[in-house]
Amino acid sequence: MAKDILTTAEAAKILGVSVRTAQLLIEGGSIPSWKTPGGHRRVYRRDVLAVISGPDQPPMFASARVIVIARPERIADYEATLAKVSYCVVESYTDIYAALLAIGSRLPAVIVIEAEPSDASRFAVLESLRSDPALGHTQILVVGRPAAERQIGSVGLDTGMTQFVDGLPALPQAIETAIRGDVEQPVPFETPPSFPFPDNEGQRLLALERSGLVDTPPEDAFDRLTWLAARSLDAPVALLTLLTPTRQWFKSRYGLDMADTPRGWAFCNYTILQKGIMVAENLATDPRFAENPAVLGKLGFRFYAGCPVVDPDGFTLGSLCVIDTRPRTLDDTQKQILANLAALASDEIKLRATDRQLRWAIEHGTPKGGAAAAPPLHDTKRVAVHQQGTARPKVGIKG
């Protein structure tokens, strides 16, 4: 008879994932758990099975993507309003079919639809979305329809997956509730860390584990971006960082010989708390960083600028950043350069996720003894040309 109470290792076996991934699922709250008197995590089998969408399907994971469908003249208002919402990525569309393509490519956490009584096609799309079982975990928010008119087809007023929002001022709170839920997110650390972390840290760490990027070999696509960041912004150091529970690991690094640092050293801990670029013009006088070993010690860093790098589901995995040994700043053009390079890094991560999805589909769609799974689509060999020449001599500890 199957056990009703499982260990983390037993849960991992059922899910078909590594023990580390199962641990992050459990500690991030995706699978409810409790601790034994000895401090060991336990879960119910039914809760493990609940995260599996069906036979031979990968586990279902949360998303931090928000899809907005609105009129062209209102898109800017929506984007300005949602810029205040933390820990999500907003994609705006005026064309319904482009929005549907984005929704179908990767299911979002929230779909926002502007109510426009004169547009019958928009509400036909809304009814179609509501009837799609694949969107069972997606919240649909309808903005701006008066209470007396809250009727969609044969269904009126708010229902489980559809909520009406009176206007733009109330939209940010509705989205935060939809993404984070009414229950406080569990803290994925046994003891409070010395660094700040986002409210969705458990989900973020799970997304990082899911990306499969940590502790992988260097790749040309990412090395080109750090090279471009350093050279175009006249910085001696440029890094693509990934923040694990205990480490700041560098997927790509230019001008620095260290492969990683303790998580507590990461200036990027503050970058992942926001959407835009974070700039510290003088680290030595900034109270957040003045006592940081990378500032006080041999490295002697004085300037930092970083921009979040996100995965396909909108979770921030780390940042693309530039660092200098002298106080300075970035002008608006330089900030735009850094933001665009970070967006390219995010796109590369999304391509790798698509690659894994395709190879997973091929592998699971191939009969036993059939053709081999598709080879990797990305070449991971390092090209030395990117490392030739620096804006200034390398900083750091020789490896």
pLDDT for res 57: 43
Contacts of 365 (CB under 8 A, 6+ apart): none
HSE on the CB side for 348, CA within 13 Å?
A: 23
List the strands of the sheet with 139-143, edge to edge. Answer: 89-93, 65-69, 110-114, 139-143, 162-165
DSSP string, 117-153: TT-HHHHHHHHHHHT-GGGTT-EEEEES--GGG-EET
274/32 Cα distance (integer angstroms): 28
Taking only the tens of pLDDT, the chain with its 399 residues reads 456 688 888 887 777 667 777 777 777 666 777 777 777 888 877 777 766 544 444 444 468 889 999 989 999 999 999 987 877 889 999 988 888 888 877 778 899 998 876 666 677 777 788 777 777 778 899 887 654 455 554 444 445 678 888 889 999 988 888 877 644 455 667 678 889 998 888 888 888 887 888 899 999 999 999 999 999 999 999 999 999 988 999 999 999 999 999 999 999 999 999 989 999 999 999 999 999 999 999 999 999 999 999 998 889 999 999 999 999 999 999 999 999 999 999 999 988 877 766 665 565 454 444 444 444 434 433 333 333 333 444 444 433
Q: Pick from 258, 362, 237: which is nearest to 305 by CA?
A: 237
- Is the four-CA dihedral 72, 351, 332, 321 of positive or negative sign? positive
Q: Which residue has the tokens 């350069």?
A: 337
For residue 32, how many other CB atoms are within 10 A of its CB?
13
221/225 Cα distance (integer angstroms): 7
pLDDT for res 56: 43
Find out whether 205 and 188 touch, Cβ atoms under 8 Å: yes
Find out whether 57 and 42 touch, Cβ atoms under 8 Å: no
Contacts of 163 (CB under 8 A, 6+ apart): 139, 140, 141, 142, 174, 178
Q: Pick from 259, 256, 192, 238: which is nearest to 345 by CA?
A: 238
Instruction: Tell me 187's DSSP state.
Output: P
Helices and strands: H and E segment counts in the chain = 12, 16
345/334 Cα distance (integer angstroms): 17
Q: Is 255 exposed, middle or buried (0-12, 13-18, 19+ CB in 10 A)?
A: buried
3-state class of 342 per DSSP? helix
Backbone angles phi, psi at 229, to 5 degrees: -60, -45
Joined tokens for residue 347: 């796109």
372/384 Cα distance (integer angstroms): 32
CA dihedral 198→202→208→212, nearest 10 degrees, is: 170
pTM score of the predicted model: 0.69
How are beta strands 139-143 and 65-69 bridged, if at all?
unpaired
**DSSP bridge partners of 395:** 256
236/231 Cα distance (integer angstroms): 8
Backbone angles phi, psi at 242, to 5 degrees: -130, 130
pLDDT for res 59: 41
Find out whether 59 and 35 touch, Cβ atoms under 8 Å: no
How are beta strands 247-254 and 260-262 bridged, if at all?
antiparallel
Q: With b meaning 16 or more CB within 10 Å and e meaning fewer, what string describes 33-59?
A: beeeeeeebebbeeebeebeeeeeebb
Q: Is 258 exposed, middle or buried (0-12, 13-18, 19+ CB in 10 A)?
A: middle
3-state class of 376 per DSSP? coil
